[in-house]
């Protein structure tokens, strides 16, 4: 059987290094807030191209903490609005409502499945404070139009980079300078990462990170993630306990070295699928019409290879019978979840088409 995701096989490649790292952590007797975390935070900040990376407990917390820090800074307050794609994984939205902020659901582009940037402006109100972009399925969601709208209305842009670590944004204008070519996680004002085992950079358990160039935000996220404390037993903020363990930091430091190679392998596989799946009933993912270029398109790291088809359940069953496991990402959109009952009556046709 071809598994949807074989975590055993993925991690077996690095087993010797991972075991050695685990032994070192066990022998050190130091499990939190140590040198392995600092080293990984440094490596991650350098890799992404930002001043600060802060390890936290998971991806949801990374996003929650960014918003909490902005509230602490006075950038936003309870009841303010955050624009978010309606078809995201629910964690993006949970981070917003957990902070008593109001998610404003905006439809995605039916081709890319990413936030339709052209719809953002008409959802802006006097209470809008931020746009949360989600680089869904591994594909960067960014554009000059997004930057200019955010600038015009003085909005923060928060990247949910849980699915796209390693992706590179290249502006569409001709001959961009070296400094305009950036990794996801360095494009907005702050970014949340998830190292859930199934993500492109997966820990052997839960963990996440926040990246930013904003010194004050970085200071606050770090403090709030550690009981609101910068000095032991001195608490400046009402914080949480959301830290990245030494053992996970050690594992992630090892796996980060191989991330670019893993992402390139994903591109090769995506290219193979696009070149070899030829069926009028199957809609291939967006860049498939530029077949030969997938391998070189750094703006996509293929966290998932998403197809659409009218006979989804039948196709899934057929593939299962032939030893190919597939999953639906995602079967129920956030606004149809019981967790958000007050949204259950609204209609978001594009989102429902994708999820439906």
Ligand X SMILES: *Cc1c(COP(=O)(O)O)cnc(C)c1O
CB of 88 to ligand X, least distance (A): 6
Is the sign of the CA dihedral 324, 268, 192, 106 positive or negative? negative
Q: Which is nearer to ligand X, 167 or 271 (CB)?
A: 167
Number of H helices, E strands in the chain: 11, 13
Binding segment for ligand X among 31-39, 108-116, 158-166, 266-274 (CB under 6 A)? 158-166
The one among 160, 214, 245, 246 contacting ligand X by CB under 6 A: 160
CB of 329 to ligand X, least distance (A): 9
Binding segment for ligand X among 38-46, 73-81, 85-93, 173-181 (CB under 6 A)? 85-93
Binding segment for ligand X among 55-63, 70-78, 123-131, 245-253 (CB under 6 A)? 55-63
Q: Verify binding: residue 242, ligand X, rule CB under 6 A.
A: no
Q: Verify binding: residue 99, ligand X, rule CB under 6 A.
A: no
Binding segment for ligand X among 86-94, 142-150, 265-273, 289-297 (CB under 6 A)? 86-94
Q: Which is nearer to ligand X, 222 or 303 (CB)?
A: 303
What's the DSSP call for residue 78? T
The one among 93, 134, 150, 304 contacting ligand X by CB under 6 A: 134
CA dist list (Å): 355 to 162, 227, 271: 19, 38, 24
Is residue 228 a contact partner of residue 235, using CB atoms and an 8 Å limit?
A: yes
Four-CA torsion 98, 103, 106, 107, nearest 10 degrees: 40
3-state secondary structure of 132: strand
Q: Verify binding: residue 211, ligand X, rule CB under 6 A.
A: no
Q: Verify binding: residue 302, ligand X, rule CB under 6 A.
A: no
d(CA 72, CA 58): 21
Q: Which is nearer to ligand X, 271 or 303 (CB)?
A: 303
Query: Residue 308: beta bridge partners?
Result: 283
Query: Residue 82: beta bridge partners?
Result: 103, 130
d(CA 190, CA 53): 10
- The candidate with the shortest Cα–Cα distance to 9, out of 166, 270, 202, is 202
Is the sign of the CA dihedral 59, 60, 62, 66 positive or negative? positive
Q: How many C-beta atoms surround the C-beta of residue 305 within 10 A?
A: 17
The one among 92, 242, 263, 297 contacting ligand X by CB under 6 A: 92
Q: Verify binding: residue 66, ligand X, rule CB under 6 A.
A: no
Q: Which is nearer to ligand X, 162 or 271 (CB)?
A: 162
Is residue 220 a contact partner of residue 73, using CB atoms and an 8 Å limit?
A: yes
CB of 52 to ligand X, least distance (A): 19
The one among 138, 185, 202, 208 contacting ligand X by CB under 6 A: 208
Q: Verify binding: residue 162, ligand X, rule CB under 6 A.
A: yes
Q: Verify binding: residue 58, ligand X, rule CB under 6 A.
A: yes
CB of 305 to ligand X, least distance (A): 15
Q: Using alpha carbons only, how large is the chain's radius of gyration in Å?
A: 20
Q: Verify binding: residue 89, ligand X, rule CB under 6 A.
A: yes
Q: Verify binding: residue 91, ligand X, rule CB under 6 A.
A: yes
Is residue 179 a contact partner of residue 187, using CB atoms and an 8 Å limit?
A: no
CB of 275 to ligand X, least distance (A): 27
d(CA 206, CA 95): 16
Total site size for ligand X, rule CB under 6 A: 15
Closest residue by beta carbon to ligand X = 59
Q: Which is nearer to ligand X, 194 or 226 (CB)?
A: 194
Cα 244 to chain center, whole Å?
A: 17
Binding site for ligand X (CB under 6 A): 58-60, 88-89, 91-92, 134, 160, 162-163, 194, 196, 206, 208
């Amino acid at each position: 059987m071809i598994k949807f995701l074989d975590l055993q096989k993925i991690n077996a490649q690095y087993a010797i290094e991972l075991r050695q790292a685990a032994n070192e952590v066990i022998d050190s007797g130091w499990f939190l807030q140590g040198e392995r975390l600092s080293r990984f935070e440094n490596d991650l900040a350098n890799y992404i191209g930002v001043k600060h990376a802060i390890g936290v407990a998971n991806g949801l917390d990374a996003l929650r903490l960014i918003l909490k820090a902005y509230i602490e800074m006075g950038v936003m307050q309870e009841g303010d609005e955050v624009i978010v794609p309606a078809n995201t994984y629910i964690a993006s939205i949970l981070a917003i409502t957990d902070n008593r902020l109001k998610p404003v659901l905006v439809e995605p582009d039916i081709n890319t499945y990413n936030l339709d940037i052209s719809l953002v402006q008409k959802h802006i109100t006097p209470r809008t404070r931020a746009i949360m972009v989600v680089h869904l399925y591994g594909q960067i969601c960014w554009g000059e139009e997004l930057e200019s709208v955010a600038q015009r209305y003085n909005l923060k842009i928060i990247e949910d980079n849980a699915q796209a670590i390693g992706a590179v944004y290249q502006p569409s204008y001709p001959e961009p300078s070296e400094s305009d070519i950036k990794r996801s996680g360095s494009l907005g004002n702050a970014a949340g990462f998830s190292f859930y085992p199934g993500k492109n950079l997966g820990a052997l358990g839960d963990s996440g990170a926040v990246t930013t160039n904003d010194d004050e935000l970085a200071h606050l996220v770090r403090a709030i993630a550690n009981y609101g404390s910068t000095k032991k037993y001195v608490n400046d903020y009402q914080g949480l306990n959301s830290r990245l363990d030494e053992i996970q930091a050690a594992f992630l430091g090892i796996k980060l070295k191989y991330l670019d190679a893993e992402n390139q392998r994903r591109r090769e596989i995506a290219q193979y699928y696009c070149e070899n799946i030829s069926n009028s009933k199957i809609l291939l993912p967006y860049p498939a019409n530029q077949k030969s270029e997938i391998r070189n398109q750094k703006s996509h790291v293929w966290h998932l290879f998403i197809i659409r088809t009218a006979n989804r359940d039948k196709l899934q069953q057929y593939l299962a019978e032939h030893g190919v496991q597939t999953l639906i990402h995602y079967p129920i959109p956030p606004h149809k979840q019981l967790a958000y009952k007050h949204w259950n009556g609204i209609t978001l046709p594009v989102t429902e088409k994708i999820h439906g």
